[in-house]
């Protein structure tokens, strides 16, 4: 007697080979047969007319804190994701001494726009070491978690306040290596570091103070365990990124490890930049190096209001400091001060094309409801003003609860992105799931890949696209027998309707446990999701209490 049989589906097995009609038989948490299954089963899913694929893998998330109160990492499973990789960008919740907790919270707040409220209300700090943290999140886990350990927290643990002042001594570097060794033994799948991020004081994060000797020593530990290095590179500069690719290639060749850098953005102002980077990656791959850029598939739509700092203003020091270091009452007082307002307007004048295109997304008052959906340029005409001053005026009128939308910040042109997605050295990733919850919905890369780039524009074939989000990341991240529908593989499976699958519509949710509020995105076309051989989600009944998620390390 089998536990579960998925009947009559269009099997896309993750290999990239052509799809075929077959059944999938599951016993315990393992696929035992792919073909014609005649055995009886406790549960049967009729997948006629649906695609049956390996569960999707999201290699760049920040669900670290959310896993403490939500073992499903909602809404990742709804989008067909069965495995997530948290701990990116040099930040993980362990190893972490008690005296460094608020420092880490500040960095998550600054870099990933994760609210203090989420940590204050959703996190019970009852661990310090990595193995203690792993045991903590293992409880009631519905989704698979393949956690990275953050370079910045290794430095904090070993060096304390000195981690944000200087390079490490040889003894401190050795202590970090010993600590990384313990984390990898406890279930970490690799190390994440950052060359660009800033902390809550707008100073470089600890990992940015590391010298090449420190990084090289840590990579030697990764080599011993055959684990991966994840890097946030200087994505805003093509030349610096090319240099980073070369550095990662040398690390990969010297230590025999996989490396990945994220995010790789396309830029309308430099349309050849991304292709130059991918070409350099291909050159290094030909030498035997393993360097994988991560590309987001979806356009990035940033929503914001003035009550919380938004990374949209990071290049405007006066604006960002106003939002970062003041309470709402102080922000309003400053905006009402004519001299301060004049200085803010002067600083932001150079970005007027952006302000013109902003859409008023949400207001609290009845008086301004009729303006919702209009661009600030349109509202400026109605008010005989300009977009920048209209943005300030509306924020004051709404007590900072006017929400503005900046569409397509990722410059996601099909003719620029599609060649990257088709490239064999490029991975679909950098979703940032769990982060930026007050700015935009960081979900839907897989749905947008399958809906837009496969079905709507035919830039990729279905089989190739599925391989990009299943077998490829499973192999790169060392996830063992996952990522394919083969006998003996773990039964992580996503069933979806290729005719309607999409990233879904973004919506705003209030009173979210642990967060307060956030932007979410409904998934379209996901029929059922099986994790560890048990049904975890289906579109009719929602989530199932299967708790079959595992720590993959």
What is the DSSP track for 161-190?
GGGGTSPPPHHHHHHHHHHHHHHHHHT--E
Query: Pick from 445, 453, 455, 448: which is nearest to 499 by CA?
Result: 455
Task: State how far the Cα of 50 lies from the Cα of 44, in Å rounded to an integer.
Answer: 14
Neighbours of 422 (CB within 10 A): 15
**Which tens digit of pLDDT belongs to each residue from 127-183?**
999 999 999 999 889 999 999 999 999 999 999 999 999 999 999 999 999 999 999
Quote the pLDDT of residue 118.
Answer: 78
Residue 337 φ/ψ region, left for φ over 0, alpha for ψ in the -120 to 50 degree band, beta for the rest: beta
Task: State how far the Cα of 501 lies from the Cα of 175, in Å rounded to an integer.
Answer: 48
Alpha carbon of residue 15 to chain centroid: 24
| CB 86, CB 147: distance < 8 Å | yes
Quote the pLDDT of residue 518.
Answer: 61
Quote the pLDDT of residue 425.
Answer: 92
Angle (deg, nearest 10), helices 338-348 and 387-397:
140
| CB 90, CB 62: distance < 8 Å | no
Q: Looking only at Cα atoms, what is the longest distance across the chain?
A: 78
Strand blocks (E) in 19-109: 20-27, 30-35, 41-46, 51-54, 56-58, 81-84
Strand blocks (E) in 209-324: 228-232, 259-262, 291-295, 302-304
Quote the pLDDT of residue 411.
Answer: 43
**Whose structure tokens read 């609290």?**
364
pTM to 2 decimal places: 0.89
Neighbours of 56 (CB within 10 A): 30
Query: Pick from 216, 195, 181, 118: which is nearest to 152 by CA?
Result: 195
Query: Pick from 455, 493, 467, 495: which is nearest to 48 by CA?
Result: 495
Distances (CA, A) of 246 to 240, 249, 520: 10, 5, 37
Q: Which helix (H) or strand (E) holds 410?
A: none
Task: State how far the Cα of 301 lies from the Cα of 307, in Å rounded to an integer.
Answer: 18
Distances (CA, A) of 5 to 15, 88, 408, 540: 21, 36, 41, 18
Quote the pLDDT of residue 233.
Answer: 94
Q: Per residue in 447-462, is it b (16+ CB within 10 Å) or e — as a string?
A: bbbbbbbbbeeebbeb
Quote the pLDDT of residue 409.
Answer: 46
| CB 153, CB 147: distance < 8 Å | no
DSSP letter for 204, please. Answer: B
Task: State how far the Cα of 359 lies from the Cα of 347, in Å rounded to an integer.
Answer: 21
* Domains identified in the chain and CATH numbers: 2-55+498-543 (2.30.40.10), 57-300+414-459 (3.20.20.140), 302-406 (no CATH)
Listed in sequence order, the residues at least 6 apart from 114 whose beta carbon sits closer than 8 Å to its beta carbon are 62, 65, 108, 434, 435, 437
Which tokens in the block code for residue 335? 């905006």
Task: State how far the Cα of 348 lies from the Cα of 229, in Å rounded to an integer.
Answer: 38
Alpha helices for 291-405 (secondary structure H): 317-324, 328-336, 338-348, 352-357, 376-383, 387-397
Task: State how far the Cα of 309 lies from the Cα of 392, in Å rounded to an integer.
Answer: 15
Query: Pick from 407, 514, 478, 482: which is nearest to 63 by CA?
Result: 514
**Whose structure tokens read 């959703």?**
122
Quote the pLDDT of residue 438.
Answer: 57
Residue 256 φ/ψ region, left for φ over 0, alpha for ψ in the -120 to 50 degree band, beta for the rest: left
| CB 525, CB 502: distance < 8 Å | yes
Instruction: Find residue 141's DSSP bridge partners.
Output: none
Per-residue pLDDT of the chain (553 residues; tens, 9 = 90+): 999 999 999 999 999 999 999 999 999 999 999 999 999 999 999 999 999 999 999 999 999 999 999 999 999 999 999 999 999 999 999 999 999 999 999 998 888 877 777 788 889 999 999 999 999 999 889 999 999 999 999 999 999 999 999 999 999 999 999 999 999 999 999 999 999 998 888 899 999 999 999 999 999 999 999 999 999 999 889 999 999 999 999 999 999 999 999 988 887 778 789 999 999 999 999 999 999 999 988 766 677 888 877 777 878 989 988 988 888 999 999 999 999 999 999 999 999 988 998 999 889 899 999 999 999 999 999 999 999 999 999 999 999 989 898 865 444 568 788 999 999 999 998 677 766 555 554 567 899 999 999 999 999 999 999 999 999 999 999 998 999 999 999 999 999 999 999 987 766 665 555 555 566 667 889 999 999 999 999 999 999 988 899 999 8
What is the DSSP track for 460-494?
S-HHHHHHHTTHHHHHHTT--S-SS--TTSB--EE
Quote the pLDDT of residue 442.
Answer: 58
DSSP letter for 34, please. Answer: E
Count, residues in the chain: 553
3 state DSSP class of 504:
coil
Strand blocks (E) in 513-553: 516-521, 526-531, 534-538, 542-543
Which tokens in the block code for residue 141? 């886990």
Helix, strand, coil shares, percent, the chain, to 5: 40, 20, 40
DSSP letter for 46, please. Answer: E
Neighbours of 254 (CB within 10 A): 13
Quote the pLDDT of residue 111.
Answer: 81
């Amino acid at each position: 007697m089998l536990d579960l049989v998925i009947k009559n589906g269009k099997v896309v097995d993750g290999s990239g080979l052509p799809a075929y009609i077959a059944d999938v038989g599951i016993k315990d948490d393992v696929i035992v047969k792919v073909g014609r299954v005649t055995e009886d089963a406790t549960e049967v899913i009729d997948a006629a007319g649906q695609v049956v694929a390996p569960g999707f893998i999201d290699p760049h998330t920040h669900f670290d804190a959310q896993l403490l109160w939500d073992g499903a990492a909602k809404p990742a499973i709804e989008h067909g994701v069965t495995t997530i990789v948290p701990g990116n960008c040099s930040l993980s919740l362990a190893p972490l001494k008690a005296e460094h907790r608020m420092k880490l919270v500040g960095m998550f707040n600054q870099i990933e726009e994760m609210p203090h409220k989420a940590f204050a209300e959703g996190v019970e700090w009852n661990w310090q070491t990595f193995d203690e943290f792993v045991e903590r999140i293992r409880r009631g886990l519905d989704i698979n978690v393949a956690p990275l350990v953050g370079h910045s927290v290794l430095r904090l643990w070993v060096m304390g306040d000195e981690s944000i002042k200087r390079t490490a001594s040889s003894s401190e570097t050795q202590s970090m290596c010993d600590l990384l060794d313990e984390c990898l033994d406890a279930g970490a799948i690799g190390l994440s570091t950052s060359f660009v991020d800033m902390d809550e004081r707008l100073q470089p994060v600890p990992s940015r103070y590391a010298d090449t000797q420190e990084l090289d020593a840590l990579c030697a530990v990764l080599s011993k365990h055959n684990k991966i290095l994840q890097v946030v590179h200087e994505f805003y500069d093509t030349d610096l990124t090319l240099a980073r690719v070369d550095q990662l290639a040398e690390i990969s060749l010297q230590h025999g490890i996989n490396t990945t850098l994220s995010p790789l953005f396309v830029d309308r102002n430099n349309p050849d930049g991304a292709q130059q980077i991918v070409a350099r990656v291909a050159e290094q791959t030909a030498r035997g190096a393993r360097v994988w850029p991560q590309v987001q598939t979806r356009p990035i739509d940033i929503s914001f209001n003035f009550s919380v700092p938004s990374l949209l203003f990071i290049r405007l020091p006066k604006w960002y400091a106003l939002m970062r270091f003041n309470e709402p009452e102080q922000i309003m007082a400053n905006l009402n001060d004519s001299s301060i307002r004049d200085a803010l307007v002067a600083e932001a004048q150079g970005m007027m094309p952006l302000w013109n295109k902003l859409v008023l997304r949400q207001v609290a008052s009845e008086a301004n409801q009729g303006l919702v959906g209009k661009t600030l340029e349109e509202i400026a005409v109605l008010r005989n003003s300009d977009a920048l001053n209209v943005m300030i005026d509306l924020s004051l009128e709404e007590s900072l609860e006017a929400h503005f939308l900046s569409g397509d910040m990722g410059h996601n042109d099909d003719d620029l992105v599609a060649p990257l997605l088709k490239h064999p050295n490029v991975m679909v990733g950098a979703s940032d799931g769990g982060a930026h919850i007050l700015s935009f919905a960081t979900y839907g890369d897989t749905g947008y890949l399958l809906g837009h780039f496969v079905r709507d524009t035919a830039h990729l074939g279905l089989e190739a696209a599925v391989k990009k989000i299943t077998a490829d990341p499973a192999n790169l991240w060392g996830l063992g027998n996952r990522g394919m529908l083969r006998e003996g593989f773990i039964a992580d499976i996503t069933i979806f309707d290729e005719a309607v699958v999409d990233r879904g519509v973004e919506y705003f949710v209030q009173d979210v446990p642990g967060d307060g509020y956030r932007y979410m995105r409904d998934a379209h076309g996901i029929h059922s999701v099986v994790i560890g051989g048990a049904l975890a989600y289906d579109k009719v009944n929602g989530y199932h209490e299967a708790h079959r998620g595992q720590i993959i390390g």
